[in-house]
Structure 1
């Protein structure tokens, strides 16, 4: 896909930027559940007043806070998953990979009211993680799987270097009946992957759903250490590489 073709597809999703913007680390969590053998994923509709992708269905997620990496966990990332998240480059580190993974868990709590981890005492001074302490859940990274990575193309008013992680629904220790403490998402719903791909979703989300569907077909348990597709723009073309 060329830059012009991608701009046309994303014309409703992102506004152009007047200056170069460096992508910020972000993480998204795809919760998966099998029903009668068919994989379903959790999605929510963004409020229409939001400037970024208003009204579209997305997975819970958002920007990574480096402080997330200092939160205690009940279980660490699988070594193979950590190695792929660390990747290469000047900013690569285990602490950065940990922060990215934990931010996906935090955002899933904030936006969907789902606390991923183990039911055990948890203490923290971080206001962002106080909900886990209140509900007696220690976050855990052991069941997270790295599914894909995508960098928002240049020229957008917001740019993110997003890691798409996945976990099975049984990794959720507590489900809050009223959802999360923020109003980022509404209409939280579980959709079969094939239906989710037809919903009002961003172009990259549809691509990631297709990748996930194909991976589940050959790797139904989402085993650790699998190759990860990486989407980015270079020389005016949208590219896909394998990490």
Structure 2
């Protein structure tokens, strides 16, 4: 376990998000670390948030956002690997199978909405949900089979936004359709594929840098992102920001 004091963390994140009284209970969130291993090096997809956002303005981040519980009911070509579902359900808080599925599917949906990348398999798909209509329009069945749990982090108290974020990973070859104009929202103003080392030097939040470091360590021993690997978990315990394993 590695630790950081509350003061040290506040200083590290001072430029990432507005400090001040915020919600006591963090909300579920999901983000997708999409990786490309073509060309002899691993690159990661990142996008720049608008400078108008109160939470991490102007920072480069992975596509993602708040979890929508209704996403658990979206039909998929394949579900989560059982080992990955078990990891997502581990740790504090009650995480049901439906909640774990919603978390993973929210990351898939947000990647479509923010980056125009549809992860899944080509095939007929229908849905009554407007936010999933793009998959139906482009004949893509969402799939969770290759999604991997990379890390979890809970925003410390004292921020204007608090999230219990699950960082998930997938390879670019799992993308069935890439829309040339990007996604239908304007959450991210710029999308770039960066080598992992270069990504760590970009204008990114402190926690994102920690996650990238963890990802590099995992890839060094697990280059294919096998299912069931231990997952780092960052959170405040007392007055210290600690790293545990799930």
**Bucket of the pairwise TM-score, normalised by the shorter protein:** over 0.9
CA distance in 1, matches of 2:111, 2:39: 25
CA distance in 2, matches of 1:125, 1:228: 34
Which residue number corresponds to residue 196 of structure 1?
199
8 A contact 2:230–2:245 mirrored in 1: yes
After TM superposition, where is structure 1 displaced by more than 3 Å over at least 4 residues in a row? Answer: none
1:43 has 2:42 as partner: no
Q: 2:76 aligns with which of 73, 76, 97?
A: 73
Q: Secondary structure at the match of 1:210?
A: helix
Unaligned runs of 5+ in 2: none
Which residue number corresponds to residue 212 of structure 1?
215
CA distance in 2, matches of 1:35, 1:143: 17
CA distance in 1, matches of 2:211, 2:19: 23
Closer/same/farther in 2, CA of residues 234 and 89 from structure 1, 3 Å limit: closer
Closer/same/farther in 2, CA of residues 185 and 121 from structure 1, 3 Å limit: same
8 A contact 1:21–1:158 mirrored in 2: no
CA distance in 2, matches of 1:91, 1:38: 38
1:7 has 2:10 as partner: yes
Q: Could you state the TM-score of these two structures normalised by the residue count of structure 1?
A: 0.98
1:174-189 mapped onto 2 (5 Å cutoff) = 174-189=177-192
Q: Could you state the TM-score of these two structures normalised by the residue count of structure 2?
A: 0.96
Which residue number corresponds to residue 117 of structure 1?
120
CA distance in 2, matches of 1:94, 1:128: 22
1:231 has 2:234 as partner: yes
1:163-174 mapped onto 2 (5 Å cutoff) = 163-174=166-177
Count of residue pairs brought into register by the alignment: 243
Q: Secondary structure at the match of 2:201?
A: coil
Q: 2:109 aligns with which of 106, 110, 114?
A: 106
Unaligned runs of 5+ in 1: none
RMSD: 1.0
